[in-house]
Structure 1
Amino acid sequence: MELFYFLVTICLSLAFSGRCSDDYSRNDFPEGFVFGSAVSAFQWEGAVDEDGRMPSVLDTTVHSSNGSSGIIACDGYHKYKEDVRLMYDMGLDAFRLSISWSRLIPSGRGPVNPKGLLFYKNLIQELKRHGIEPHVTLYHDDLPQALEDEYGGWKDRKIIKDFTAYADVCFREFGNTVKFWSTINEPNMLALVNYGVGFLSQTNCTPPFEMVNCTKGNTSTEPYIVLHNMLLAHASTARLYKQNYKHKQNGSVGITFFAFWMVPFTTSEEDEIATQRAKDFLLGWVLHPLVFGDYPNVMRRIVGKRLPCFSEEESYLVKDSSDFLGVIHYTTTYTTADLSSPSQRDFLSDMAASMIPIGNSTLFTIDVLPWGLEGVLEYIKQNYGNPPVYILENGRPTNHHSPLNDVERIEYLHAYIAAVLNSVRNGSETKGYFQWSFMDLFEFINSNYTYGLYYVNFSDPERKRSPKTSALWYSCFLNGTTTCSQDLKNISLSSSPGLSSS
């Protein structure tokens, strides 16, 4: 309560020129709507070689690509109690975390690691003790290296059985406490980036499409095969939960997908058609099978035999297999037709559309375009039956070495949370919003850009956390104290009794 009254005082006394929350407050959201934040196991936990954990493909890739690794990361494995306390002080309803498959089952299948099991039980219980609902992602890009070495991981249908067995352990051990499960993190982006251009794990790709020196793979087919196996693994896992656990645990199982919003670059018919085709390839690739039991017709027509087929039984299994959809959204792009005809086909040439940044947006500098998130949610509502949706990642990167006064992140969060509210008011069944990320994480794509509400000093062996201005803004919003017309730019974070440094 001390933090609450402190926030009430500052929120009522200061003038905010940047529109913190002058047009809405948390109280405008429906009862039961949840607000949270998120991390992933590999980027937060560290302790990669402790207590029986074995390597994942991310360990292998990051170590081989730049000589560094997430050996310590944020050291969440040892500092989780401190971090949960910071979440509690901020006022989070929920926290999205992922489980490291190779920490829980080091070889990918077989014996459970008791120390890994204990860590996740302790973490989940710590969250529950503080009134924070855990939303657990089973797979956040960190496949056990042992399965990649044995049969190629997601490229082989053997993964379906192994993933379902891993999920069974999680449901059995944590399901009495965890009520929200996401099976696989953004399978569309994982399949495209990792197996189309070889950007991350294992450099699976073939010339001329590669961004790195590829060592294996087939860019023309493997993205489609990998996503197909991910959908089947998700559906198998969802069926397992419904048959063996749902009646006694009463939880929900969903899947996430990465959602660019796309608008035509020009008013030409070609760009209009290309934009819809891109939506079918990037969004419908995941959503169509979940709702209709098969891929979009345009994909079937263009990709042909390279696109795997669902058997009648598999189609039935995949259709309606998600209790909710997890949306991961950061930005919006223009789309224009690309009708070139390369001799070798890959996902992007099949899509025959190019995406062009809007404004000053790049991979690491994202313009504030909240109408794009509204577009995604409206598209789901209009085309896929308006299922329950959780925004499981949304945030803005800033330079890790920039000042803690991250007003640009506040501007982004304020605008995108408003967009979610607009969508809810327009009938979207969006049930929650999770900011990415709670703290600066180990970023293996570009360590200079981080998303955290808390700064983490990676040069400090103790990995000290320091709150940014955005942490105070989000806490102020979460505590329901803002219909803000206040200036948070000049607030001293060190004066807050709740949002302290650890």
Structure 2
Amino acid sequence: MEPQRWLKKGMMVSLLLVSLAVEVLSADNYSRHDFPLDFVFGSGTSAYQVEGASNQEGRTSSIWDAFAYAGYAHGANGDVACDSYHKYKEDVRLMVETGLDAYRFSIAWSRLLPNGRGSVNPKGLQYYNNLINELISNGIQPHVTLHNYDLPQVLEDEYGGWVSREVIRDFTYYADVCFREFGDRVLYWTTVNEPNVFALGGYDQGNSPPQRCSPPFCATKSTRGNSTSEPYLAVHHILLAHSSAVRLYRRKYRDKQQGFVGISIYTYGFFPLTNTKKDVIASQRVRDFLVGWIMEPLQHGDYPISMKTNAGARIPAFTNRESEQVKGSYDFIGVIHYTNINVTDNSDILKNQLRDLTADMAAKILGQDLFSNEEYAVTPWGLQQELYKFKHLYGNPPIFIHENGQRTASNSSLQDVSRVKYLHGYIGAMLDALREGSNIKGYFAWSFLDLFELLDGYRSSFGLYYVDRDDPELKRYPKLSAIWYSQFLKGRKTSNVGTIELKKYPSLVSVGQLFE
């Protein structure tokens, strides 16, 4: 759908800030009741970003710890993070007060299996059992991710982690432990979070864990790795490990546990910079390299033709048996979406003999800087377009929007009007896609708390709740977005949210005062 049509439909929220009261007005008249009864609304985090207790009770280091300690997150780390390891009951209480149906979180592999395999850490097992039980006893559905940028460092040191086929065996073992220990209560499992961006940052540019890359493609000072081949190798092994875990679950657990296993993919709205044929083709090619890279093997058992053409022998080939194992190895797809990009052709770069994944795309990508704390433009037609493509290109699979949210600079202001505008626009876009037949099952706002961000440490925030890092107790405070989301979840029309009154407090307001 064109942006002009969105504007005519009034999909952009008008917000007026008056003194300490914020009135939310919109011409778009939808509510929670416009969604199916079984549609799931939630919010999410991941282990290293919120748990803290990184050196406590048996947890060992992960590749994300090493990345943070190397100073790549502006000197910050997740040693304490939001201390959800100790404050999980308080956080679940906030979820209940907000009205969440579900909570998406990840398990720290190195907390559960400190050696990457072998014996289970009883303290880690107890923590995740306690968290899951607390969620369920409060009527909140757990959605669990097994790997989110945090492979145990011991496996990285031993054989190179995801660039080795050995990781398939170890990941399958780890998944088996999780299915066995938690599968009686957890119905929704995501194997690997956004493997496309994980490989691009971790194995091509070197600006995310495990910071592997090779000159001249490195965005950091890392000197280990091979940017021309390792991104393809890492995703290849991720797909094989994912499909191995799915095969295990279907064979060993599904009949009894009745759960679902999927994988999540980072997406953009992909738009050609001009209407020229070259830019249109380049836009599709970039999408092949970022989304088709994961979806085409899952759907058809092989990589997109454009990838195999441009990467050649550097992209691994599936055997017939592997192709059959990967094809169809999902019960749902998690879509991660924040913003749009414009694409213009750059085919001349294919003349270079030395190319990395980015160069193989043969395009220039124009968009917002992932390394800044600049707010995202509210352009929800990009999400709607992507949902349309999943419907028509991949057989309309069940989809959960796993991450979607607004980035702002970290500060103590609770009046995050731009995040309210963002959530309103994108939830409205999702509703339009749902009405057009997309098979969407749920939506998770990113993120529940202001947490440790992969690229930005604590300089930027996505949270519905502010975490006061100057307070020894790391107190949580609801932002305007938490209140808006809560009122939406409790059935109020978005055009009739009315005045959200921050009472007489100029900055921080206690949870109890706002949820009376």
Q: TM-score range by the shorter chain?
A: over 0.9
Secondary structure of the residue aligned to 1:434 is strand
What is the aligned partner in structure 1 of residue 354 from structure 2? 344
Q: Which residue of 2 aligns with 1:461?
A: 472
* Percent identity for Structure 1 against Structure 2: 51
The amino acid of 1:42's aligned partner reads Y
Equivalent residues in 2 for 1:368-387 (5 A)?
368-387=378-397
Aligned match of 1:91 in 76, 95, 99? Answer: 99
Contact persistence 1:264–1:334 (CA under 8 A) = yes
Q: 1: CA distance between counterparts of 2:450 and 2:196?
A: 25
1:468 to 1:198, Cα distance in 2 relative to 1, 3 A: same
Q: Which residue, out of 272, 284, 292, partners 2:280? A: 272
Aligned with 1:203: secondary structure?
coil
Name the SS for the 1:47 alignment partner: coil
In the other structure, the counterpart of 2:429 is: 419
Structure 2 SS opposite 1:289: helix
1:255 and 1:22 mapped to 2: Cα distance?
32
CA distance in 1: counterparts of 2:220 and 2:49, whole angstroms: 22
Q: Give the Å deviation of 1:401.
A: 1.1
Q: What's the CA shift for 1:64?
A: 1.6
Matched, 1:26 2:32: yes
Secondary structure of the residue aligned to 1:484 is helix
1:451 is aligned, of 459, 462, 475, to 462
Change (3 A) 1:148 1:289: same
For residue 409 of structure 1, the aligned residue among 419, 440, 464 is: 419
Moved more, 484-493 or 191-200: 484-493
Say if 2:63 and 2:151, in contact at 8 Å, map to a contact too: yes
What residue is the counterpart of 1:311 in the other structure? 319
Mind listing any 5+ residue stretches in structure 1 that lack a counterpart? 1-14
Alignment match of 1:190 (pick from 198, 201, 222): 198
Deviation at 1:210, TM superposition (A): 0.7
Q: TM-score, normalised by structure 2?
A: 0.91
Query: Does the CA contact (< 8 Å) of 1:271 and 1:335 recur in 2?
Result: yes
The offset of 1:340, in angstroms, is: 2.9
Q: CA deviation at 1:483?
A: 4.3
How many correspondences in the alignment?
488
- Shift in CA distance, 301/248, structure 1 to aligned 2, threshold 3 Å: same
What is the Cα deviation at residue 484 of structure 1? 3.1
**1:288 corresponds to 2:299:** no
Q: Out of 17, 38, 41, which is 1:35 matched to?
A: 41
CA distance in 1, matches of 2:27, 2:258: 36
Distance 1:98 1:398 in 2: 23
Q: 1 CA distance for matches of 2:401 and 2:221?
A: 34
In structure 2, what is the equivalent of residue 44 of structure 1? 50
SS in 2 for 1:442: coil
Paired amino acid for 1:277: R
Contact 1:467 1:500 in 2 (8 A): no
Asked if 1 retains the 8 angstrom alpha-carbon contact of 2:215 and 2:223, the reply is: no
How do 1:53-452 residues align onto structure 2 when only pairs under 5 Å count? 53-65=59-71, 66-341=74-349, 342-357=352-367, 364-401=374-411, 403-446=413-456, 447-452=458-463
- Whether the aligned pair in 2 keeps the contact of 1:17 and 1:485 (CA below 8 Å) is no
Cα separation, partners in 2 of 1:360 and 1:100, compared to 1, 3 Å: closer
1:391-445 deviations in whole A, cap 9, x for unaligned?
A: 0000001111151100110000000000000000000001000000001001242
Matched residues in 1 for 2:396 and 2:115: separation?
A: 39
| One-letter amino acid of the structure 1 residue matched with residue 321 of structure 2 | E
- The residue identity in structure 1 corresponding to 2:442 is G
| Structure 1 residues 488 and 17, CA gap change in structure 2 (3 angstroms) | closer
Maintained 8 Å contact 1:21/1:482: no
Does the residue aligned with 2:41 lie in a helix, a strand or coil?
A: strand
Give the whole-Å Cα distance in 1 for the aligned partners of 2:26 and 2:370: 23
Deviates more, 1:91-100 or 1:456-465: 456-465
Q: Secondary structure at the match of 2:321?
A: helix
Tell me, what secondary structure is at the counterpart of 2:82?
coil
Letter in 2 for 1:328: I
Aligned residue number for residue 7 of structure 1: none
